[in-house]
Amino acid sequence: MANAVIEAHDLHKVYDGAGAETHALRGVSLTIDEGEFSAIMGPSGSGKSTLMHILGCLDTPTSGTYRLAGRDVAELDLHELAEVRRQTVGFVFQAFNLLPRASVMRNVIMPMLYTRVSPDERDDRAAAALRAVSLDEKLWTHKSNELSGGQMQRVAIARSLVNDPSLILADEPTGNLDTATGDSVMDLFRTLNAEGRTIVLITHEPVIASQAHRVIRLQDGLIVEDATSANADIRQYQGGEA
């Protein structure tokens, strides 16, 4: 049987602001096993980005429990949380989050700078990750702001791979790309999943969600559907992040 990478039970997230409370999550429970390719979708305000931040240990729930790769996140101190994020989770963002004046290689090496990986091994890992995403070697010395959107997203995906994470969290990874380039990026995610990577993709685009094996649909901070993509009721949503 596959091991669970994500085990979340009864997650609530409440934000206090201007004298009023906002309930972003209202009791979310889900398990995602090793090797799954899941999409979390919903309209603006559904809680999907809040959930991703909690799953990636970038935020903590107000209540509920979350185990990542078997570890109870609530029991980890700040140093341990940083270590878990570095070793267990690879992040891919809609806006790429690359250093614009740094080279492609430098951007991919960045997650390893605070590890005990030697400089030579850093270079080897970065090169292997860039080859895995099929980025032309001629571009490796270019600054990231000299690349196209699709090329920048490939660099961001390579960066997410260099520490060999068990989980890749992708937040609207095709949101800033044209259709053809977005399709190419999704092809890459499918290839990575076929190689055994666990992928959780946040999106509001039905066409993108349908390419995952499982669709988890959020509405008003609750899971209202959890099904294989072939059986899910994938509807068109308007709006941005939650």
- Asked whether 60 and 51 are in contact (CB, 8 A), the reply is no
- pLDDT at position 214 is 95
* Residue 138, domain member (yes or no): yes
CB neighbours of 133 closer than 8 A, spacing ≥ 6?
154, 155, 157, 158, 161, 188
Q: Rounded to whole angstroms, how far apart are CA atoms 75 and 97?
A: 29
* Residue 211, domain member (yes or no): yes
- pLDDT at position 45 is 87
Burial annotation 45-64 (CB, 10 A radius, 16+ → b, else e): bbbbbbbbbbbbbeeebeeb
- Check whether 8 has a pLDDT greater than 90: yes
- Check whether 86 has a pLDDT greater than 90: no
Q: Rounded to whole angstroms, how far apart are CA atoms 14 and 164?
A: 33
If pLDDT is split at 50, 70 and 90, which confidence band does 19 have? confident
* Residue 104, domain member (yes or no): yes
* Residue 1, domain member (yes or no): no
* Residue 80, domain member (yes or no): no
Q: Rounded to whole angstroms, how far apart are CA atoms 147 and 116?
A: 30
Question: 202 is in which domain, residue-wise?
Answer: 34-57+88-228
- pLDDT at position 238 is 41
**Residue 135 phi/psi, 5° resolution?**
-90, 130
- Of 13-22, 126-135, 188-197, 227-236, the range with the lowest mean pLDDT is 227-236
Neighbours of 33 (CB within 10 A): 15
- Check whether 196 has a pLDDT greater than 60: yes
- pLDDT at position 237 is 43
Helix then strand then coil, in percent of the chain rounded to 5, is: 35, 30, 35
Q: Rounded to whole angstroms, how far apart are CA atoms 53 and 228?
A: 23
* Residue 28, domain member (yes or no): no
> Which residue's structure tokens are 């049987």?
1
pLDDT in tens, 126-165: 999 999 999 999 999 999 999 999 999 999 999 999 998 9
* Residue 65, domain member (yes or no): no
Q: Rounded to whole angstroms, how far apart are CA atoms 84 and 113?
A: 15
Average pLDDT over residues 227-234: 75
- Check whether 240 has a pLDDT greater than 60: no
DSSP three-state, residue 165: coil
pTM (whole model) above 0.85: yes
* Residue 199, domain member (yes or no): yes
- Domains in the chain: how many in total? 1
- Asked whether 182 and 202 are in contact (CB, 8 A), the reply is no
If pLDDT is split at 50, 70 and 90, which confidence band does 224 have? very high
CATH code: domain of residue 104: 3.40.50.300
- pLDDT at position 1 is 56
If pLDDT is split at 50, 70 and 90, which confidence band does 175 have? confident
Quote the mean pLDDT of the chain.
90
- Check whether 77 has a pLDDT greater than 50: yes
Total length of the chain: 242
Tokens of 182: 């977005």
Neighbours of 222 (CB within 10 A): 15
Average pLDDT over residues 31-46: 93
DSSP characters over 106-121? HHHHGGGTTSS--HHH
- Of 112-116, 164-168, 220-224, the range with the lowest mean pLDDT is 112-116
- pLDDT at position 68 is 94
